[in-house]
Structure 1
């Protein structure tokens, strides 16, 4: 009986998910509107940890390539379930928009 009780906290810890470092990647946007969309994918048991500075650097690079001077974060991250399982989301896409600065 004691081994079962001892295993319960370990099982809960494993099911809670692991913090996983995620890299933002340019996935969309509009040069004429000066908007860059960055995203990363997150699995069912992942707790994605994004790096805000890395996202800003990526967005700034895209904006500068388009002829703008820089970028700034716009709004909040949006999470969309890409693959729905029987009871919960299996894969999520997290997206953040950035505005290019003139």
Structure 2
């Protein structure tokens, strides 16, 4: 059976799409005094983490409100840090986003 380039591309897309992994943000750090909240999720070596920006904002806003602020605003871009390095590549990555609490 001979595969055309379109069929091969379609199969590759299906295989790669199967690797997308939904991720839930969690409040993992910050400073009430500075009005900064950090949210994070963990991602494995073969995972293609898919996060929900609205869910992340809701988590950060909830933490800010506990501290007496009204809402949160995203600050900067996501940062990825390798937590477990294998022989040739990263096995476990932490993705973190900072938010500023606003009055």
How many residue pairs are counted as aligned between the two chains? 95
Q: Distance in 1 between matches of 2:18 and 2:26?
A: 23
TM-score (norm 2): 0.84
Aligned match of 1:41: 42
Q: Quote the Cα distance in structure 2 between the aligned partners of 1:16 and 1:84.
A: 25
5+ residue gaps, structure 2: 3-8
Structure 1 length as normaliser, TM-score? Answer: 0.84
CA distance in 1, matches of 2:18, 2:43: 11
Go from structure 1 to structure 2 and tell me whether the alpha carbon gap of 1:15 and 1:53 turns closer, same or farther (over 3 Å shift). closer
Deviations 1:29-82 (A, max 9, x none): 000000000000000000001000000000000000000010010000000000
SS of structure 2 residue aligned to 1:32: coil
- Point out the more displaced range, 17-26 or 71-80: 17-26
**Counterpart position of 2:19:** 18
Q: State the distance in 1 between where 2:18 and 2:95 align.
A: 17
Q: 3-state SS of the aligned residue for 2:87?
A: coil
Paired residues of 1:16 and 1:45 also in contact (CA < 8 A):
no
Moved over 4 A (4+): 13-17
- Give a deviation string over 1:1-49, Cα, whole Å, max 9, x none: x9xxxxxx979x7689711000000000000000000000000000001
Uncovered stretches (5+) of structure 1, i.e. residues with no partner: 3-8
In the alignment, what sits opposite 2:79?
78
